[in-house]
Chains A and B, each alone.
Chain A
Amino acid sequence: MIPCDIHQKNIHLALDGELNPVQQAELLLHLAGCANCRDIQKNLTRVSKAVAWATRVPANFDLPAGFQNRFWERLDRTSPRNRPTHWSRPLLVAAAVVLMVSTWQVADRWKIASLGTITPTPFSFESDRLMLSSVQGAISEVERNQADQESQQLLGNYL
């Protein structure tokens, strides 16, 4: 015969759906004839239901709208250099543009003669200035686009 203390442990397992059908049947049989274990079962069930009731979440529970953006903004305020947003992308694009234009200009200056001799063309301040302004324009455009996107995102959160 199974003693009461084992049945009392099994009451917890039964509440948690961790008893097999045979153990469950044995417990039910015991509870039918033991007022003390029945009382314990009643109290433990009450505790279990109370905890579930007091801590339940509404149906379709989800993060509040704008939760993630508000977090990134807060992280930015506390640790702006580590913000894992897309800010690095326009800078990478701008760096790539600078690299491409520079490479193109260096190649342009070094005309390769058909016989294999290399003749550098003279440097032109005018062409350097034009190159610089086109790179600056590209960087500004990328930054402007990024700023527009972020503004739209922020507005989207509050509208």
Chain B
Amino acid sequence: MTPPPESFRALFEENSPKVYRIVFRLVQRTDVAEDLTQQVFLRAHEKLGEFRGDSSIFTWLYRMAMNMAVDHLRHEKALKESSLDAPLRSEEGSATRADLLADQSPRPENQVENDEIARLVRKAVSELDEIYREVIILREMEGLSYDEVANLLGTNVQTVAMRIMRARNQLKIKLKDLPLCF
């Protein structure tokens, strides 16, 4: 069933900024984030009739977005593709990734290395099982409380707490050899 056009417009306008921001967190490139966000909504437009309402519409979109971003991260080549010269914004004269990473970085003396470390951290997150990845993204990146994460994912606070512990413990192992100076 094709969704009514105007309701899809409302869905897109309300959710695209949130979906775009989460995708950007993982891919750190505006051009890729835009492309993936658009793909999410193209698929949503196509599949909206199949949405069963088991979760909120944002959770449905969020999971699609995560899967696409993670898929991108898994296939992302090392520094070659995540060049420091890649623009953060499509407009002329905008900041680059190097500008973004210049502050609060763990090793300010070496931005190329920082960029690679950041990429490896994101890759480690992308390699978590989906149930762990989604809670760590919502908690660590979006800053949601356990209660908010539980509501969004349609589960309870105890489950969220347990998944976050496991996610973080797995990340601790994956990141143990990275030179992080926090």
Contact = CB atoms under 8 A, between A and B. Distances in A.
Contacts of A58: 88, 95, 100
Interface residues of A, number: 41
B6 A43 contact: no
Interface string A108-135: 0000000000000000000000000000
A34 to B, nearest CB: 18
Contacts of A45: 182
Interface stretch (A21-29, A71-79, A145-153): A71-79
A68 B16 contact: yes
A38 interface: no
A13 B136 CA distance: 13
B53 interface: no
A84 B9 contact: yes
A51 B174 CA distance: 12
Contact of B139 (A16, A62, A67, A74): A16
Contacts of B74: none
Interface in B100-129: 100, 104-106, 117-119, 121-122, 125
B55 interface: no
Contact of B178 (A50, A64, A88): A50
A71 B140 contact: no
A3 interface: no
B5 interface: yes
A116 to B, nearest CB: 47
Contact of A51 (B9, B13, B46, B141): B141
Interface residues of B, number: 58
Contacts of B17: 62-63
Given A16-B139, A18-B146, A55-B122, A71 B16 contact: yes
A57 B24 contact: yes
Interface string A1-33: 000000001001101111000000000000000
B41 interface: yes
B34 A57 contact: no
Contacts, number: 124
B80 to A, nearest CB: 18
A82 B45 contact: yes
Contacts of B182: 45-46, 49-50, 53
Q: Which secondary structure dominates chain A's binding surface?
A: helix
A44 interface: yes
Given A44-B168, A48-B168, A58-B100, A53 B9 contact: no
Contacts of B8: 82, 84
A145 B31 CA distance: 33
Interface of A: 9, 12-13, 15-18, 43-58, 61-65, 67-68, 70-71, 74-75, 78-79, 82-85, 88
30 contacts: A12-B168, A16-B145, A18-B145, A18-B146, A43-B172, A44-B169, A44-B172, A46-B175, A49-B180, A50-B117, A50-B121, A50-B178, A50-B182, A53-B106, A54-B121, A55-B25, A55-B125, A55-B141, A56-B25, A61-B24, A63-B16, A64-B90, A65-B91, A67-B34, A71-B38, A74-B42, A78-B42, A83-B5, A84-B5, A85-B5
